[in-house]
A and B are shown apart, each in its own frame.
Chain A
Amino acid sequence: AQSVSQHNHHVILSEAASLELGCNYSYGGTVNLFWYVQYPGQHLQLLLKYFSGDPLVKGIKGFEAEFIKSKFSFNLRKPSVQWSDTAEYFCAVNAPTDSWGKLQFGAGTQVVVTP
């Protein structure tokens, strides 16, 4: 079955450490890719998106992601995390055969940043 896989369910790291969250998908063709973040008690917010063009995408709050088509990957990175980055992070894909707005989400990665 086609899917979106996030490699880690839980990540714990210290402030100032670098963060990389993996995301792989199994859909062929042209896909639209997203990373969403859900801070404790809040709604999902868009961090960044990729539709076309430069495969290195910059988002809000210092996050970036790289689309590697040959690897079907869209990994999220931040060079130096802060305590306020503690949240759950979701990778999502809009597959070419799906209607707009129908996103396939990964299971999420819970990130805890310790002071």
Chain B
Amino acid sequence: NAGVMQNPRHLVRRRGQEARLRCSPMKGHSHVYWYRQLPEEGLKFMVYLQKENIIDESGMPKERFSAEFPKEGPSILRIQQVVRGDSAAYFCASSPQTAGANVLTFGAGSRLTVL
């Protein structure tokens, strides 16, 4: 089992460019979560998705950020017109369909640096 796969592991963008981060959940997992970790801070929840549905986006910035989890393919976190403050580690996690006793499995993260 390959676990939660994220790519790229490292991404460098200049201000104003777009960043796309991809996440493939663990096999058998249908729930995906995105978290952001700013320097010297803990992880902050961004969004919770199931296939083709956004369940909870209460942690997503109102502008420039979007997420999707299509029927086929990985989940994508998209940041448009990046700014220096977007520099962070972005972690994806997944869980099985059954909630309750299950926990999140995290990926290794994608580190975004905005120049």
Contact B55 A99 (CB under 8 A): yes
Would you give the 0/1 interface string for B87-104, flagging 1 where the beta carbon is closer than 8 Å to chain A?
000010101000111011
- Interface-forming stretch among B12-20, B42-50, B73-81? B42-50
Is the Cβ of B56 less than 8 Å from the Cβ of A43? no
Residues of chain A from 75 to 110 with CB closer than 8 A to chain B in the complex: 90, 92, 98-108
Q: Does B40 contact A (CB under 8 A)?
A: yes
Choose from A44, A100, A103, A106 the contact partner of B99 (Cβ within 8 Å).
A100
Query: Quick check: B109 and A102 within 8 Å, CB to CB?
Result: no
A-B contact count (CB 8 A): 62
Asked whether, in the complex, the Cβ of A43 is within 8 Å of the Cβ of B108, the reply is yes
B31 at interface, CB cutoff 8 A: yes
> How many B residues face the partner with a CB closer than 8 A?
29
B101 touches A51 (CB 8 A): yes
Let me know if B103 and A90 touch, CB within 8 A.
Answer: no
B33 at the interface (CB under 8 A from A): yes
Q: Mark B26-58, 1 if CB is under 8 A from A, else 0.
A: 000001010100001111110010000001101
In the complex, the chain B residue whose C-beta lies closest to that of A6 is B42
| Contact residues, A12-53 vs B (CB, 8 A) | 34, 36, 42-46, 49, 51
Q: Which of A43, A98, A102 contacts B106 (CB 8 A)?
A: A43
Inter-chain contact A101/B43, CB cutoff 8 Å: no
Contacts of A43 in B (CB 8 A): 3-4, 91, 106-109
Subset of 14 A-B contacts with CB under 8 Å = A4-B42, A43-B91, A43-B106, A44-B91, A46-B105, A90-B43, A92-B43, A100-B31, A100-B48, A101-B104, A102-B48, A103-B43, A105-B44, A107-B41
